[in-house]
Each structure stands twice: as structure tokens, then as C-alpha cells.
Amino acid sequence: MIIKNFFTNSIGILVSRIFGFIRDLLTASVLGANIYSDIFFVAFKLPNLFRRIFAEGAFTQTFIPAFINSKNKSIFTYKTFTRFFVFLIFASFIVTIFSGFFAKLIALGFDDETLAIASPLVAINFYYLPLIFAVTFLGSLLQYKNHFATTAFSTALLNIALISSLLLTNGMEKIDIAYAMSYAVLVGGVLQLLTHIVAVKNRNLMKLFRFGFANRKKDRIKDEDKRFFRSFSHAILGNSTPQISAFLDTWIASFLLTGSISYLYYANRIFQLPLALFAIALSVGIFPKIARLVKNNDTQKALILFKNGFWFLFFLLTLSAIGGFILSEEIVKLLFQRGAFSSEDTLKSAGVLQMYLIGLIPYGLAKLFSLWLYANMRQKEAAKITIFALSTNVLLYTVLVEPLGVKGLALASSCAGIVLLVFTIRSFGIKEFLDIIRDKKLAIFVGMLLVYIPALLYFKELINDYL
């Protein structure tokens, strides 16, 4: 069941990322790496930041254990959904009214003329957040029912909508293309929501909302509410290190050379592929099972499941990190170097990608180890670790940005990931961690690297001869 869930998530994410790379390929070709691409990426950054922290990571990892333990599931479901959704709609109106302020908040280095162009795009893109929250909420209910396919595959709909907008507006003014892409973000969100509504209805889960709405004795879950929101507030911080790091990267990059935001974006898109394909897919697949085992006090079975997940993920992330680092220039060139995306853009994006890939293993494994904390309702502990990692990230900006430029931003983020992993493992338990790595798989892993790295270097020479 766990392997099936992993492959369902992984294949769904892969399909979405294939469409995502097609989207990025078209974006690089049509917009290139310039002020217009920077403006769109900035406009989409804010809802993406809140989506990853607020809707996907923090919410799912708090809601599922709380839902499993709830004695009044229908009331808890209805009340939680309406509160969050109404709040996000209100927040979207606030961003619309003060879009200039939020545009400046994201990209302080933009001049007034650029901010005037970016402001309405920031407002349009933010309405994606309430849509994707509804998708995430319904997806959490589907995960509880061990159904992962709808959420995994529907993420491609956003990319399909953006691809369509690029194809339809190719040759138009750059600003018109940016507007079309912003509206396409909303279309993609609506399509994702519709697919989830159908899936939830087919599994007879809509009754949770009906019964929750009909039941007026909502005060009976007052204690559950308090525990959930207390855990959720801690989980927001606990899930925020890579997302806030990426946000800070964009903010500081707005002060650097034109195109720096785009170099970060394209490099981060490649970095996010193995992170999502392996770490997130595995974490989503095993989290409901681990949460149930922990609730039933079956810790030993939970640890066995966790250990198997660790080695599987460690192998995949290591192969991806080393392969991506060695072949960074070739990967960027193959994916993006065409049209308005020059060979110079390739070199700069590849350098940023290498710095990001240093943090691939730490961020991926930290994602897995943090699940143990969330399953045991230790969100506050995870939040403290995140604050320390983020503080390290900010401190490293002052050291690395001046000598390394945009690459220093990515390297600081990776170093924060290492700090995050070390302290998360400490909270998980040093003894328990040593029990996991004392395994014959470690010898197999070292032997594999001795063959893998020389093979990659030889492959790199062959690719360069071909290109």
C-alpha cells in the first residue's frame, strides 16, 4: 500500500513537472530572463509562498492527525474549512486593495515604474491561494481515504493552463503575456478544485460538510479547535524554512542585476523536481499511515516504516543531487537555452542550481524526519528548529551575497537546510537515528557511489561532445 501510494504521488508529480518544464521552456523562450519575467515570477511568488507554508505543508500535516483523533469529524471538517476559506478570501481582497504595498514588500529593489506594472499582477495571482487551499483541504480528506491520485495528477492542470496562455499570446507584447499567464493561474486553480470536488463526491465525503453544516452544536469541538489551531500555528513555522528562504532569495535578488530573480526561479524549478518527486511524494504517502500507528501506540511498526522510507529516500536524493551538480550546465542548456534565453543565462542559472543542490539531501530528509514530529503532535518543537534555521539563513546572506552574488543566495538557503536537518534529527532522537543508519544498506550505498560518479563524469563528456 505504501509503495503504491508513493508511486501514485511520484508519477503524478512527474507528469505535473513535465508539463511544468514545458511551461518553463516556453516562458524562457517567450519572455527570457528580463524585467517582464521577473515581474511575473514576483507576482506569483506571494501566493506560492503561502500555498506551500499555509495550505499544503502546515495545514495537511496538522489537519490529518487532528481529523484522525476527532470525535466529531463532520463538525470539525465544516468548521475548519469555512474559517480558513473565508479568511483567505478576505486576505485576497486586502491584497487587491493594497497591491502596491505587497508588490513592494516582495521586491523592494524594484523602482516605482516596475512596481506600478507588477502591482495588478500581484493582486490577480493572490486569488489562487483560496482556490488551492480548498484543493488542499479536499485532498487531505482524500488522503485519509488512501486516495492520492486526484491530488497528484491534478497539479498538472495549472501548468496546462499556463502553457495554453503562452501559446495563445506568443508574439504579443511582453506585459500582455504576463497578464495572460496571471489569469491562467486562476483558471488552473479552478480546474484543480473541480476535479477534487468530483473525487470527494464519488467517495461520499461531501456528507461531512452537510452534517457539519446541519449540526448546530459546534461548541462540542471547542477543545479540538484549540488544539488544532495551536498546532497549526506552530506547523506554519515548522514548514516554512525552504519557502521563506526562497522568498527572501527573491526579495534580495531584486536588488541585484536584472535577471537574477529569473535565474533563481529556473534553478529552483529544477531543484524542486527531485524534492517533490521523491521527498514530498514519499512523505505524503506514508504520513497518514504513520499518524494512525502513532495514535494506536504502535511505535515499533511506525519506526520500521520510517526506516524503510529513509533509505529509499536517501538513495534517490543522493543520486539526484550528485547527478544534478555534475550535469547542471547541461541540464539548464537542454531545458531552457533557446529563444530569448542566452548561453550567459545558462551559465548563471547553472551556477545557482549547483548551490541549491547542496541542500537537496538535507531538505528532503528534514521533510521526512519532521513528519515524525508532526505525527506525534510536536509542532511547537519543529517550529523552534525552523526559526533557528531561518536565522542561520539570514546571517549567511550577509556573508555570502557580496562575494558570490545571486549564487550566494542559493548557497545560504542550502546551508540553512543542513542546519534544519541536524536539529530535526536531534529532536527525532540521536540513538534512533543511529539505529537507522547502522544497516548493510550503507555499504551498498558507498559502493554504488564509487561506480556512479565516474560514470556521470564520462556521460558529461559525451553530452558536451554532442551539444
Q: What is the DSSP string of 59-109?
A: IHHHHHHHHHH-S-HHHHHHHHHHHHHHHHHHHHHHHHHTHHHHHHHH-TT
**Model pLDDT, residue 104:** 80
Measured at the CA of 59, the angle between CA 362 and CA 228, to 5 degrees, comes to 120
Measured CA to CA, the distance from residue 407 to residue 90 in angstroms comes to: 37
- Residue 239: pLDDT band (50, 70, 90) is low
- The pLDDT of 394-420, averaged and rounded, is 88
Least confident of 7-11, 77-81, 306-310, 428-432: 7-11
Round to whole Å and give the CA distance between 286 and 292: 10
**Per-residue pLDDT, 56:** 53
> Are 242 and 412 contacting, i.e. CB atoms less than 8 angstroms apart?
no
| pLDDT at residue 356, as a whole number | 94
pTM here is 0.73
Inter-helix orientation angle 2-30/156-169, to 10°? 20
Instruction: Over range 304-315, report the average pLDDT.
Output: 89
pLDDT at 333 over 70: yes
Identify the pLDDT of residue 127.
92
Distance CA 27, CA 340 (A): 9
Q: Per-residue pLDDT averaged across 401-415, rounded?
A: 88
The rounded distance, in Å, linking the Cα atoms of 399 and 408 is 8
- Output the CA–CA distances (angstroms, integers) from residue 370 to 193, 304, 385, 429, 459, in the order listed: 28, 16, 10, 12, 36
Decide: residue 405, CB within 10 A, 0-12 exposed, 13-18 middle, 19+ buried. middle
Q: Which three cell numbers stand for residue 195?
A: 476535479
Higher pLDDT, 463 or 55: 463
Q: Please name the residue that has the C-alpha cell 548561453.
A: 343
Q: What distance in Å separates the CA atoms of residue 447 and residue 196, rounded to the nearest whole number?
A: 44
**Do 245 and 362 touch, CB atoms closer than 8 A?**
no
Taking alpha carbons only, the member of 314, 303, 279, 330 closest to residue 461 is: 330
DSSP state for residue 436 in the 8-state scheme:
H
Residue with the three cell numbers 493552463: 161
Other C-beta atoms lying within 10 Å of the C-beta of residue 107: 25
* Spatial separation of the C-alpha atoms in residues 182 and 128, rounded to whole Å: 9
**Amino acid code (one letter) for 132:** I
124-172 pLDDT tens trace:
988 998 998 999 899 889 988 888 888 888 888 999 999 999 888 887 8
Residue 237 has pLDDT above 90, yes or no: no
